[in-house]
Amino acid sequence: MSHARTTLTVLHSTLAHRRSTRRQHLQLRRELAAYDTSAARADLNATVARHTPEQAEPVQRILTDLAYSRRR
């Protein structure tokens, strides 16, 4: 396989992975946005708090963004 072909294959693979990751992120954001009452968010926060900071960080980031969006 030529260098150019290998580079294109790697690029294609990388872009496909990024698209997939983005779709997953948007799906998680939609699911988290469905927790739309104070009680539901408190329950969700309690669930997230049981995880390690590394595990909880992506969810916390989305929840913070959603809370900011709700205030606008």
Q: What pLDDT does 70 receive?
A: 84
Q: How many CA atoms lie within 13 A of 72 on its CB side?
A: 6
The residue to which tokens 């590394």 are assigned:
54
The tokens describing 67, both together, are 């809370």
Give tens-digit pLDDT for 5-62: 899 999 999 999 999 999 999 999 999 999 999 999 999 999 999 999 999 999 999 9
- pTM check: above 0.75: yes
Cα distance between residue 12 and residue 61, in whole Å: 28
The residue to which tokens 């990751």 are assigned:
21
59: nearest Cα among 39, 46, 72: 46
Helix/strand/coil for 32: helix
